[in-house]
Structure 1
């Protein structure tokens, strides 16, 4: 079997004895990025760091089932479809629809709550 690797940043949570023991017992070899070098692990740093800052600093999952319900909502209904990303020229990973320009008085928006009203997205309606 090929060795498994996990790229970790230098967050204190990842340096704990418990994490190191778990990784060793699972046959996973940690690869740690250099200090102050988040670009070495762009996926983990952007998704994990952003997820922690934007969600779990405000939302405490009550159970694993609660977490499994809330994570997809954040990722699919907000992070990938409405939150702009600097790495892709301030676009979203899933492109948003392009609407024809209208007068601001004629535009009607529907507010869509995400994560129990922590965030809101907006959709133009006819």
Structure 2
């Protein structure tokens, strides 16, 4: 289905996806999007997987050593740095960035 056709009949496209159909949208003969049914589930399958694969015995130590690469704190060595709430990483201001400076990431398109 072309992007123009999808745009003109978007409600029908969503109805088709809701009934299990996968729609491939093209522009200029190239695939640009795939619209399909949303995965259904309540997380039970994920919980089952997480229960079966528990972290190994060294997980906590590995995690602590990774956290020690930060200048903020290292529970394993007892180092810590107190920071004011207005201070961000490396002492920089934690003020939000203006919206003008935020740019969306570019996504590579496949064939």
- With normalisation by structure 1, the TM-score equals 0.19
In our comparison, the structure showing a higher alpha carbon Rg is: 2
- With normalisation by structure 2, the TM-score equals 0.21
Q: Greater relative contact order: 1 or 2 (C-alpha under 8 angstroms, separation 6 or more)?
A: 1
More helix by share: 1
